Amino acid sequence: MKAISLTLLLLLLIVAGVFYLLPDNSGISAKTDYSNEAVRISVTSNQEAAVAMSENSFTLQLTDAAGQPIRQANLKVQLLMPKMYCGIIMAQVSEQTPGSYLIKGIPVMQGKWNAEISLRIADQLIRVDHPFIVKS
């Protein structure tokens, strides 16, 4: 009887350990929205999970407070891993249609990443982080 109880306890500990070690995906979203009195930003991942060492893309929608598209925006996007020192990867940004921008970048390893979007508009610098997961 003791052997069965110990076996069940060990099995329970193993299962709990596996769930404890699984990556925490809280805060990870396929879409990030931001707005203030001057601008609305919406960033969407174009794939469910990004792939390491491959080009991945995001779509950014940019409008003013009245909902009009912002053209030829002063945007900079970099990919980085929060709390890691694996470098900052500059992403390419191109306007596809008025107010709609395509972001392309290559994350170098698996894990949690941010697409850090910087927008300079008038005398403001707005920064929005879009979290995403990279699989190998």
pTM for this entry: 0.78
Domain extents for the chain? 2-135
Give the pLDDT confidence score for residue 26 in this predicted structure. Answer: 44
Compute the distance between CA of residue 99 and CA of residue 83 in angstroms, rounded to an integer.
32
Query: The dihedral of CA 63, 41, 109, 136: what is its sign?
Result: negative
CATH of 2-135, one of 1.10.3720.10, 3.10.129.10, 2.60.40.1930, 3.30.1330.40: 2.60.40.1930
**What is the structure's pLDDT at 87?**
87
pLDDT, tens digit, 9 for 90 and up, residues 3-28: 776 565 555 555 444 344 344 444 45
Query: Which of the residues in the chain have pLDDT under 70?
Result: 5-29
- Is residue 52 within 8 Å of residue 71, measured between CB atoms? no
Place of tokens 């002063």: 74
